[in-house]
Amino acid sequence: MDFNVHEGTKGTMELVVADEHSASKIGSGLADVYATPAMVALMENTAQTSIKDDLPEGYATVGIEINVKHIKATPIGMKVKCESILKKVEGKKLLFEIEAFDEVGKIGEATHYRYIINSKDFMSKIQK
């Protein structure tokens, strides 16, 4: 099957860091700052959302690898913006480059691989 995803596709998402995004609430640390797992979730969501409308009905993507650097702490209440770009398409395997910024500057960067799946077949296989 041919998929209508193209290198260069960009995505953007924003959020305001809330208490539920903090390391102390998520359990990844004790500080009341934006947690690395929360940033990773935003990065993955930005990437997958950027191409979801380009996939045929019944298809989605799953994350298979992420290499992330959390460069700087962000306090609760500050806005975070995440930007992704689809850098490489190899059949069903997609490579994204992602950056995250708060109101002061860059807070994180990642390379992220996603894989195109047939949602029904995928769910059927994991139930076995």
- Residue 73, in any domain of the structure: yes
- Residue 43, in any domain of the structure: yes
Asked whether the CA dihedral 5, 102, 78, 66 is positive or negative, the reply is positive
Instruction: Give the pLDDT confidence of 3-27 residue by residue, as tens digits.
Output: 889 999 999 999 999 999 999 999 9
Q: 3-state class of 48 per DSSP? A: helix
Domain span including residue 27? 10-126
What pLDDT does residue 67 have? Answer: 99
- Residue 5, in any domain of the structure: no
For residue 44 the two structure tokens come to 């993955």
Question: What residues are designated binding site for substrate?
Answer: 63, 114
Q: Is the pLDDT of residue 44 over 90?
A: yes
- Residue 1, in any domain of the structure: no
Give catalytic residue positions: 36, 44, 70
Question: What residues are designated binding site for CoA?
Answer: 63
- Residue 66's domain is classified under what CATH number? 3.10.129.10
Residue 31 φ/ψ, nearest 5 degrees: -80, 150
Q: Between residues 77 and 125, which one has the greater pLDDT? A: 77
Whole-prediction pTM value?
A: 0.94
What pLDDT does residue 2 have? Answer: 73
What pLDDT does residue 126 have? Answer: 86
Instruction: Give the pLDDT confidence of 53-65 residue by residue, as tens digits.
Output: 999 999 999 999 9
- Considering the chain, what is the average pLDDT of its residues? 96
Q: Is the pLDDT of residue 1 over 80?
A: no
What pLDDT does residue 51 have? Answer: 97
Domain count along the chain: 1
